[in-house]
Structure formats: C-alpha cells, structure tokens
Amino acid sequence: MAGTEPSKDVVIAVDAMGGDHAPQVVVEGCEQALAADSRLTVLLAGPDEVVTPFCERHERARALIAPEVIAMGEHPAEAVRRKRSSSIVLGCKAVKGGEAEGFFSAGSTGACLAAATLYTGRVKGVQRPAIATILPGYQSRTVLTDAGANADCKPEYLLQFAQMGAAYARIALGVEHPRVGLLNIGAEEAKGSEFAVQVHQLLAERLPEFAGNAEGGDLLAGTFDVVVTDGFTGNVALKTAEGTAKAMGKLIKDIFYGSAKGKIAGALVHGQLSGLKSSMGSEAVGGSPLLGVRGAVFIGHGSSNATAIASGIAQTAYAAQMDLAGEVAQAIGS
C-alpha cells in the first residue's frame, strides 16, 4: 500500500467461505496476513468446524461462528435477507457492531454489496456506495470507480463516486492531490453521451480535483489517479482490461512453450515473466473497497489464491487503520 505506516492495532473480519477455493485458500491467506502484520487480529467468519480449529492454532484469530453460506449464484438481496447467520452477513454486522473495523470477502460481490449496505450501513450523506478497483498499469496505478455496484446512475452519484474515489486514492495510492478524470469517449468537454456531458459540467463546477475527460486508453497509462464512471461502464472496462491481459498472457505463454528456442528464452526471463503475471493479475489488486459504507469493507476476486487473500486482508486492515470511512465522510461533505 502507500507510504505512511499506520501504527494501530486492527481487527478485520474475514469471510472464510468466500471465493472459488474457500475455505482452504482463505485460511492460508489469513495465516500469511497474520504473519506479515503483528498488529492485525482476524475475526474469521464461517462454520464452526472451519473457524474454531484455526483460531485454536492462532493467538491473534477469533472465531465468528456463521453456519450459513451464501453461494455465488444466489440472488444477492434475497440471500442476505434470508441467510442472517451467513459469513457475509455476520461479517458485515461485526463492522457495524464495532467487533471489527473492516471486513474482507472473496465471495459474491452482489451479496457483499447488499449486506454491507443493509447491515453495516452507509456513511452519512452517501447516496450510493460504489466499488473502487485499483488498475495496475505501466509504472502506474489508477483507481477506477464505480467498478460495478450501480448499473444505473444519476449525475450526482458520480460526483460522490469521484469524491470517494479521491479519498481512497489519498489512502491507497498515497497521492495528496489526486487527478480525477471522467471516463468518456473524447477529450473535449462537449464529447460523449448526454449523461457524460452533464457529469462533466457537475464535476467541473464542484470537484477541485477534476482534471477533465479520460478515455479507455488512459486507464492503464497513469494519466489520472482516479477515473470515475457509472457502474455499468466501469465494470465493462474493468473486465475488458482483465480479459485483454489474460489473452495476451496466453499468447506470451505460447511463445515460450511453442519452440525449443522459446523454452530457453522463457527460462532466461522466468522471474520477470512471473512478476509481470502477478503485477497485472488479481494478486496485485487483492481487494476492492465498497466506498461509502462504514468501516472498511473489501471484496476480493473469486479466483483469489492465498497470496491474493492475504493481500486483500492487508489492504482492508490498512484502509481501516487509515480511517477510510472518515476520509469518505469528509470528502463528500466538502
């Protein structure tokens, strides 16, 4: 994360049952996160047989018994209303109740969003919480928000997304004055959809950090610290970037497996290629915060491995220690 080192003890609730490889990789991720940060305590939410043995083995781990599990395919809002003793609901409630300062899950994004909104609660004044994702690029990192929480938006939501995104960039990227761009299809202010033109005007009037329109090509180029958009466009952009990186990764792999020469070349740069893979993959991202809810609620990629889980927990802990929700409250009040 960023430069400043917070020096506070922190308790993070973790969804033991979230992700494609839960609970195994989550438990391993918790172990890695605990080993890396002596100020961290994990409140592990999940079925008794998963969480209790883990907590017996680790001094800084506490059990949050949650017998129910929300699966990836379930209807988010229905599931969080019905399954009150699921790991996601109890994790979110722990933040509300103050037993934990943050919650991390690699489970259903929709369920986390619904549970956080319903049970953790919004920061006062926030109209819609938004997902923020850090996109890795060439010598750059950019916060993209909303990355998928709100498919339909009003212009004023995007003003808040921009304010909250800037607050997150100050914490996560350590940038004091983030440059905020509006995702659009041209650089000029009159460009784009009617909605984009309206948002442009609003940001120009109300957001001191506003630095003009961004295009898709700016997302991984470091032109802006924060790029704001509606959750539909943001999710398409995020998944397009991930898909492109994946397709290129396969093409590169073919080069190094396709011939004897390629195999020799691959052996020579093996370390750097692994570095490329982890810097562009979900391991680097770890988790994405839900901006606008209390505490620090982060969602990880369903395909997360133990390293990605550990990284997500560390990000959640850092954001909680740096008082993400307080920064958000201040940003939208300004």
273 neighbors 304 (Cβ within 8 angstroms):
no
Distance CA 30, CA 172 (A): 21
Distance CA 161, CA 218 (A): 18
Answer yes or no whether residue 273 interacts with its own copies by CB under 8 A. Answer: yes
Answer yes or no whether residue 53 interacts with its own copies by CB under 8 A. Answer: no
Residue 65, SS3 per DSSP? strand
Among 239, 326, 330, 334, binds its own copies (CB under 8 A): 239
Residue 137, SS3 per DSSP? coil
Answer yes or no whether residue 133 interacts with its own copies by CB under 8 A. Answer: no
Distance CA 207, CA 160 (A): 10
Residues that bind its own copies (rule: CB under 8 A) add up to a total of 56
Smallest separation, CB 200 to its own copies (Å): 12
Is 138 or 205 the residue whose CB approaches its own copies more closely?
A: 138
Site residues for its own copies, window 247-266 (CB under 8 A)?
247-248, 250-252, 255-256, 258-259, 261-262, 264-266
Binding mask 165-194 for its own copies (x = CB under 8 A): ------------------x-x------xxx
Answer yes or no whether residue 272 interacts with its own copies by CB under 8 A. Answer: yes
Look up residue 120 and give its DSSP letter.
I
Element containing residue 319 per DSSP (H, E): helix 306-321
Among 280, 291, 296, 329, binds its own copies (CB under 8 A): 280
DSSP string, 30-47: HHHHHHH-TTEEEEEEE-
Q: Where does residue 87 rank: exposed (0-12), middle (13-18), buried (19+ CB within 10 A)?
A: buried
Site residues for its own copies, window 141-170 (CB under 8 A)?
148, 151-152
Q: Where does residue 98 rank: exposed (0-12), middle (13-18), buried (19+ CB within 10 A)?
A: exposed
Site residues for its own copies, window 216-235 (CB under 8 A)?
216-221, 229-233, 235
Answer yes or no whether residue 326 interacts with its own copies by CB under 8 A. Answer: no
What is the binding site for its own copies (CB under 8 A)?
A: 137-138, 148, 151-152, 183, 185, 192-194, 196, 215-221, 229-233, 235-248, 250-252, 255-256, 258-259, 261-262, 264-266, 268-269, 272-273, 276, 279-280
